[in-house]
Every structure is written in C-alpha cells, then in structure tokens.
Structure 1
C-alpha cells in the first residue's frame, strides 16, 4: 500500500486529486485487492483490483487524449462509520475542463455509494456502486437531475 488513509475524508481527497492528476497508482491505492464495483458506465460490474486498474487506465488515458482535467466534487455526503467499517453515499460531480484554457467543457453528476473497511489502520474501499435515475420512456440514464 503506497499511502495511508487515517480518515475517511483522506480517501475522498485522494480520489479528487488522483483523478485531477490522472494518477492511476494513487487512485488504485485506495481500493482493496478484492474490490467489487457496480458501475453505471460500460461495465455492469468489476471484480478485483487488476480489472479495476484496467478500467481506470482507460478512463485516464481517454482524459489525456481529450486534453481534459477532471474536477471532482462530493455533494450531499453522508458518512456513517465505526472503528473498522464506513458507509458513504453522495452525489459526485465530474466537471471536465480544457487542460490549456481551463474552460469548462461539460459536467455530469451521478450517485455513489461506498463501503470502506480498515486494513492495517488505513481505510480502503471494498465496494463502490454508482447509479443514475433512468428515464422510463427512453431507457437512458439521467445525469444532472439534482
């Protein structure tokens, strides 16, 4: 494990900065080896850190190709934790900015739920679930309803 996350908030701050800097290793570092993810993007689910790392590498490489910096904000955050387990849910906004001009290009918000546990005194994400409301007429996900 590269870093330690002594507070749940440390995990969220790492998430934000690792995405912005497109740092795959620092991003992956906050996930458990047996991570289980339900995602609202291309894959229905992802099991295990190696599979998740491939998805993250593709995500960050796409941002590089597009010349985009991605700013992440956690809104309406609710954290319930005890000494070894934590449960979080929130609305996560991803705002894409042009790398050179800083111009905001687009933004999406979707819902996230995280399950964390302490391993060697450091919080790690063991489960992540992202979701969107679905428009029942079109069958498409609805971003930014908030």
Structure 2
C-alpha cells in the first residue's frame, strides 16, 4: 500500500536497484498508459508494461545495479489525484557502488488514490532532441 505519493517513488528506487519486477509494478494501475523513451511509442496496460520492465531488468549487465533519483521535482496533490514531474537519473553502479555511467530522463507521473493507495495511471518520460543531429540529449 502506498499511503503517500513519496512511498511510490521510494518503491520505484528500491525496486529498480533490486531488479524486482513485481515490486516495481506494484504501484501501477492495471490500465496504466505510458509514453516511454525506449523502443515503443507507448505501453497500454500493466501486461505490456510488465513485458518491457522484465526485458529492461534482464538486460542489465551481470554485476551491475541501477541507482535512481528523482530530482528537481514539483508536484500538486489533492485527496485523490496527484501530478509529479521531475528529472529521473539512472546511474549504473558496480558491486562496490562505483558509478559506471549515468543518464537523466524527464518524467511526468499522474497518480490516483484508489482504496487508500496511490497508483500511477499515466507516466511520460522524454529526452530532448538535438536540432543539429536529431539525436537524444542525455542529461
């Protein structure tokens, strides 16, 4: 149960580091809609998102973990709706915690409170695109 919006993002951080698909998916609504930066224009529903997340976690190199951090966030919240936007960094670290590489995506999350628990109903991640070479700009 995610009583506070901040609980959702603590879970996100922990689940990514642990490469735990089920834990990661726990706050996502069954009918979630996602606009992602990687491989697909959008994902509709938890099953499509589960397949993408599973592939993501399996694809991480052996002996590598990801530390995530939401920064620069701003949010608005009322009793049953929340909007959170910010920058999510993904830092690959080795077994000793040494940072190997890092990238930053821009994120927007829409959440609804259902039966007392916050759920992500929509997520949008993006990267700016260079006008010079049409390549993504990784922060």
- TM-score, reference length from structure 2: 0.97
| 1:32 equivalent in structure 2 | 29
| 1:91 equivalent in structure 2 | 87
Task: Measure how far apart 1:79 and its partner are.
Answer: 1.1
| 2:72 equivalent in structure 1 | 76
Which stretches in structure 2 are left out of the alignment for 5+ residues?
none
Cα RMSD, aligned residues only: 0.9
String of CA shifts for 1:58-105, please: whole Å, max 9, x gaps: 011111x4421100011011110000000000011000001x333211
2:136 is the alignment partner of 1:141: yes
Which stretches in structure 1 are left out of the alignment for 5+ residues?
none
- Return the alpha-carbon distance in structure 1 between the equivalents of residues 63 and 49 of structure 2: 23
1:121 paired residue among 101, 116, 124: 116
- Return the alpha-carbon distance in structure 2 between the equivalents of residues 46 and 74 of structure 1: 22
SS of equivalent residue, structure 1 residue 109: strand
- Return the alpha-carbon distance in structure 2 between the equivalents of residues 10 and 102 of structure 1: 24
- TM-score, reference length from structure 1: 0.92
Aligned structure 1 segments of 4 or more residues deviating by more than 4 angstroms: none
- After TM superposition, the structure 1 = structure 2 runs for residues 17-28 of structure 1, keeping only pairs within 5 Å, are 17-28=14-25
SS of equivalent residue, structure 1 residue 18: helix
SS of equivalent residue, structure 1 residue 108: strand
